[in-house]
Amino acid sequence: MPCVILLDVSLSMSRPVLECESYQRRNLAIHGINVLLDHLAATNKLEFVSLVVFSSLWERLVPFTRDYDSIKTALNNVEDYDKTCIEPALAGAASVIVDEWGSAVPSQVILITDGNTGLGPSSLKHSLQTIGQRSGGEDRFSLPFTFPCKLHIVTISGSQDPELQTSLNMFQRLIDINGQGGQLFVPEGSLSLKSVQQMFRELSEKYFSPLLRVLRCGNLHCNVNVFPAPTDYDRPHDFQHVYKELFREIAICGFLDISDVASPPFISRHLVLPTSSTREKPEELKVDSEKGEAKEDDEDDTVDGRTPAFTVLLHGSLKVEGMVALAQIGEGWYGMLYSWADSKKKSNLMLAVFEPGVDSIPWLGELNHLAPMSSFKQSPYGEEDNKTPFPVRPPDRRSYSQNCVVWIKQAGLQADIQKILRHARKLPEKQLQFYKELNRVRRAALSFGFMELLDALSAMLDRECTLLPGTAHPDAALQLSHASNALRSETARDYAQNVVPLTTNFSSGD
């Protein structure tokens, strides 16, 4: 997940460190950031990082990039500014993320500062005191973030700093207000190159390590790195708090055609990259070949490249057949694997994670009730593969797909009346349609308690009867006056009883 490094560059950061005079706090912070960047370069090269520095103002020094060296270079040229103002800095980090990724992508912000939280109205203390008096809108406190985001706060501060404890309490409060995870990091023991390094290593390993999983399809399996790491689901729903943990395995349950899954909504997408099965081997290799590391890397690549991986097979077949694999990723929690190509036509295996629950995709039915096609007597896909059991239809139809009646606007009623008239003029050919429409309007009028309409309709049919041309079929006049009388009668008030055509000498010939 994308990460903003929010570095304090106020004057206080250039205070020398007591224990080793040659370093300023800022140097230690930069050293720590380098530890993090090196960790990413080694394990998670796809992670995007942006560098934002702040004092009383904030500035995005490096936009989101995977080129960690550019951040390292920028860090070397950071200057000193005035005082620490944390609240606007957090707002700055938020806008950097939202502008780039929108508000759906889970992200992380690492705030790196000394324990100094500023003075006066721009101080963190003041921000926290006034938090209850905000009116919202522009004035809103920048936390909690309006998008999924962890907030880590890393203090470059010795434990003997007098004001540290007060600051730590405030920092913890910030993390709590955000309430989306994150951690407060304080160097252990005295402030030194080593303790800072250790602190950043802890941060890197805990929050920036690749997520290793096993992709399994029956007995076929493959170790994979899922990027970006999916997170456990933890959200309140209408009636329950839903907490779902991810399984260690991504277990394929079966397959579906792309046209059947039909662009289902998902909460996140992740690349599924096979990891080297020979993870442990490089150590041994190094002993053997001390001559050239570059060469050894190459060899390692080819060994990996030539060992068949299940992901590659799966990806290839999914792509060729235009299918997706339905996979279980947690208790009652599913996702789908499919071949995804970016704009440059580089394709890879992708995992889309659905909303937890078995009914997250209505048109697939309950996901845990999907059965193998072999368990049906007749293939649900047809003998010649020309059918599909999807989509699953809901028990009742929506208003737009059935014959509902809405007369709120005059035009609706007028159109229905016109339809009756049109059929009336073509009697007796359109007798069936005439009575069908007539009954439909009659029933709606009964439901709405619109009895005036029945009388009006009856009057109109009477008039139509008089307007019939001389060439009209004699049955037309009979049916019209019959219908008109029927509308006035008591039986017309019975919802269940239809007005039926008059049986005439003419109709028997039909």
User: By CB under 8 A, what part of segment 147-206 binds other proteins?
Assistant: none
Nearer to other proteins by C-beta: 219 or 508?
219
- Residue 42 binds other proteins (CB under 8 A): no
| AA letter at 501 | P
Rounded distance between C-alpha atoms, residue 80 and residue 13, angstroms: 8
Instruction: Return the range that interacts with other proteins (CB under 8 A); candidates 21-29, 99-107, 112-120, 472-480.
Output: 99-107
Which helix (H) or strand (E) covers residue 68, if one does?
Answer: helix 68-76
Interface with other proteins, residue 390, by CB under 8 A: yes
- Selected binder of other proteins within 349, 424, 438, 483 (CB under 8 A): 349
Indicate whether 264 belongs to the interface with other proteins (CB under 8 A).
Answer: yes
Structure tokens at 483: 């219908």
Distance, in Å, from the CA atom of 406 to the CA atom of 278, rounded to the nearest integer, reads 68
Contact pick of 38, 161, 202, 257 for other proteins (by CB under 8 A): 257
For residues 235 and 214, what is the distance between their CA atoms, to the nearest angstrom? 26
What is the rounded distance in angstroms from the CA atom of residue 90 to the CA atom of residue 108?
Answer: 12
C-beta of 157: minimal distance to other proteins in Å? 32
Binding to other proteins by residue 41, rule CB under 8 A?
no
Q: Site residues for other proteins, window 434-473 (CB under 8 A)?
A: 443-444, 446-453, 456, 459-460, 463, 467
Decide: is 120 part of the binding site for other proteins (CB under 8 A): no
The stretch among 201-209, 281-289, 404-412, 478-486 that binds other proteins (CB under 8 A) is 404-412
CA distances from 238 to 241, 242, 265, 351, 356 (A): 8, 10, 19, 27, 14
Q: Does 96 bind other proteins (CB under 8 A)?
A: no
Beta bridge partners of 61: none
Nearer to other proteins, 282 or 322 (CB): 322
Task: Considering the complex, state which of residue 16 and residue 382 has its C-beta at the smaller distance from other proteins.
Answer: 382
Among 135, 160, 240, 471, binds other proteins (CB under 8 A): 240
Pick 262 or 432: Cβ nearer other proteins: 262
Could you say which of 22, 77, 133, 263 contacts other proteins (CB under 8 A)? Answer: 263
The reply to whether 295 sits near other proteins by the rule CB under 8 A is no
Task: Report which DSSP code applies to 78.
Answer: P
Applying the rule CB under 8 A, the residues between 325 and 344 that interact with other proteins are 325-326, 328, 338, 340, 342, 344
Least spacing, CB of residue 234 vs other proteins, in Å: 13
Helix ranges (DSSP H) in 307-342: 310-321
Continuous segment of H or E residues that includes residue 254: strand 246-257
Pick one of 101, 122, 144, 285: the residue that binds other proteins (CB under 8 A): 101
Nearest approach in angstroms of CB 247 to other proteins is 13
Return the residue of 144, 181, 330, 391 that touches other proteins, per CB under 8 A.
391
Q: How far is the CB of 323 from other proteins (least distance, A)?
A: 6
Instruction: Please report whether residue 280 would count as binding other proteins according to CB under 8 A.
Output: no
DSSP states along 336-352:
EEEEEE-TT--EEEEEE
- Least CB distance from residue 481 to other proteins, whole Å? 17
Minimum Å distance from CB 282 to other proteins? Answer: 14
Shortest reach from residue 219's CB to other proteins, in Å: 4
What secondary structure does DSSP assign to 453-499, as a single string? HHHHHHHHHHHHHHH--TTS-HHHHHHHHHHHHHHHSGGGG-TTPPP
Q: Which of residues 360-389 bind other proteins (CB under 8 A)?
A: 362-376, 380-381, 385, 389
> What is the amino acid identity at position 106?
P
Q: How far is the CB of 433 from other proteins (least distance, A)?
A: 17
Residue closer to other proteins (CB basis): 71 or 256: 256
- For residue 63, the tally of other CB atoms under 10 A from its CB is 14
**Tokens representing residue 344 in the block:** 């440059």
| 5 in contact with other proteins (CB under 8 A) | no
Size of the site for other proteins (CB under 8 A): 143
Among 55, 311, 479, 484, binds other proteins (CB under 8 A): 311
Judged by CB under 8 A, which of 57, 220, 432, 500 binds other proteins?
220
> Of 51-59, 67-75, 79-87, 414-422, which part binds other proteins (CB under 8 A)?
414-422
Closest contact distance (angstroms) between CB of 59 and other proteins is 21
Task: Give the span between the Cα atoms of 495 and 154, in whole angstroms.
Answer: 73
Closer to other proteins by Cβ: residue 161 or 304: 304
> Is 291 an interacting residue with respect to other proteins (CB under 8 A)?
no
How far separated are the first and last CA of the chain, in Å rounded?
A: 73
Q: How far apart are CA 462 and CA 473, in angstroms?
A: 16
Structure tokens at 25: 């706090």
Count CA within 13 A, CB hemisphere, residue 70. 11
Q: What's the min distance (Å) between Cβ of 258 and other proteins?
A: 6
Distance CA 222, CA 206 (A): 24
Give the integer Cα–Cα distance in Å for 261 and 470.
60
Query: Which of 266, 439, 481, 499 touches other proteins by CB under 8 A?
Result: 266
Angle, helix 431-447 to helix 474-488, in steps of 10 degrees: 10
What's at 490, amino acid-wise? E
| Nearest distance in Å: CB 359, other proteins | 9
Q: Which two tokens stand for residue 370?
A: 């999907």
Nearer to other proteins by C-beta: 30 or 51? 51
Count other C-beta atoms under 10 Å from residue 392's C-beta: 13
Q: DSSP string of 273-298?
A: EEPPTTTTHHHHHHHH--S-HHHHHH
What's the CA gap between 480 and 474, in Å, rounded? 10
User: Strand 49-54 vs strand 58-65: parallel, antiparallel, or unpaired?
Assistant: antiparallel
